[in-house]
Amino acid sequence: MHAMTIDRPGGPEVLRWTDVPDPVPGEGEVLVEVAAGAVNRADLLQRQGFYDPPPGTSPYPGLECSGRISALGPGVSGWSVGDEVCALLVGGGYAEKVAVPAGQLLPVPAGVGLVTAAALPEVVCTVWSNVFMVAHLRPAETFLVHGGASGIGTMAVQLAKAVGARVAVTAGGPEKLARCAELGADILIDYREQDFVAELEKATDGAGADVILDIMGAKYLDRNIRALAVNGRLAVIGLQGGRKAELNLGALLAKRAAVTATTLRSRPLDEKAAIVAGVREHVWPLIEAGRVRPVVHARLPVTEAAEAHRIVEASTHVGKVLLTF
């Protein structure tokens, strides 16, 4: 088979479409013939040499894919050869075939095309696990998502609205904010021109956000704490703004607030399977009913992965960038 390999850390030009050995599904795994993969910022970090895959896993980038099952490993039940699926991966989505633990498979939702389904697993599992399983967003609460026009953001807006939350977003520029509004965002904040703490305070009569989903890390930590409501929950899932910052514990205590930080890629298989099962039970019906939909910015052939990386690095996209096979 062919896969997109990284011959050395560097820019998009280091991605190489290379002939590599076929994967073999092990115990509890299936082999998926990939129809499409999606680009995530973790792939960019891996390409740059900052985010190596866990030992013993696929060395190729790609944290999600869609395709058809072409073989079953020992001990797999509930799936058949030919099933159309999408999958949460630890890596290998930029390849023609990938071996996937059966617990990380999802059926392609009714009404969603096979290629488009590649836009779902990573973002849905990330949002579901952080916003609902960890931060416990509830109806009528105020939810702030940073980067509302990103793949994570566009899904977070829709899922929060689906449970009856009031949604605030930060995004760069009026066009991205308009797209967030189309998805249901109630409070629109241009981070280039506005202070999100002040804007959120005005919009909530000083109450703040009950839950914040943050991709920035250190750069936003102090302001996120100030933007939280009493009993608020801050979920950090990215470090685009740095790794280290000073935390004002007094402010956190005064608000009786909580800060959590998680990654998805390195979690144990049983934790990932539990997240995927929750997504299938709670989110898939919303997608099949048309209440939540994948947002796709562009589809490029996998051989143009370098260009896809440039698009994501430039942050000019709204939603997901897909790689098709």
What helix, strand, coil percent values describe the chain, rounded to 5? 35, 30, 40
Domain's final residue, options 261, 294, 313? 261
Q: How many residues appear in the chain?
A: 325
**Structurally, how many domains does the chain consist of?**
2
* Cα separation, 197 vs 209, whole angstroms: 10
Give yes or no for a contact between 325 and 35, defined as CB atoms under 8 angstroms apart.
yes
Domain's final residue, options 207, 226, 261? 261
Q: Is 7 exposed, middle or buried (0-12, 13-18, 19+ CB in 10 A)?
A: exposed
Joined tokens for residue 112: 């969603």
**What is the model's pTM?**
0.95
Using alpha carbons, select from 57, 41, 37, 118 the residue that is nearest to residue 267.
Answer: 57
Domain co-membership, 248 together with 272: no
* Cα separation, 33 vs 31, whole angstroms: 7
* Cα separation, 39 vs 122, whole angstroms: 10
Domain co-membership, 27 together with 87: yes
Q: Cα dihedral sign for 205, 208, 211, 214?
A: positive
Domain co-membership, 209 together with 168: yes
> From the centroid of its chain, how far is CA 99?
20
Domain co-membership, 91 together with 134: no
Other Cβ atoms closer than 10 A to 93: 34
Domain co-membership, 315 together with 188: no
Q: Cα dihedral sign for 294, 159, 310, 43?
A: negative
Give, for all 325 residues of the chain, the pLDDT tens digit: 999 999 999 999 999 999 999 999 999 999 999 999 999 999 999 999 999 999 889 999 999 999 999 999 999 999 999 999 999 999 999 999 999 999 999 999 999 999 999 999 999 999 999 999 999 999 999 999 999 999 999 999 999 999 999 999 999 999 999 999 999 999 999 999 999 999 999 999 999 999 999 999 999 999 999 999 999 999 999 999 889 999 999 999 999 999 999 999 989 999 999 999 999 999 999 999 999 999 999 999 999 999 999 999 999 999 999 999 9
Domain co-membership, 311 together with 246: no
* Cα separation, 101 vs 226, whole angstroms: 41
CATH number of residue 171's parent domain: 3.40.50.720
* Cα separation, 33 vs 21, whole angstroms: 14
Domain's final residue, options 210, 234, 261? 261
Could you tell me the residue range of the domain that residue 252 belongs to? 124-261
Domain co-membership, 291 together with 318: yes
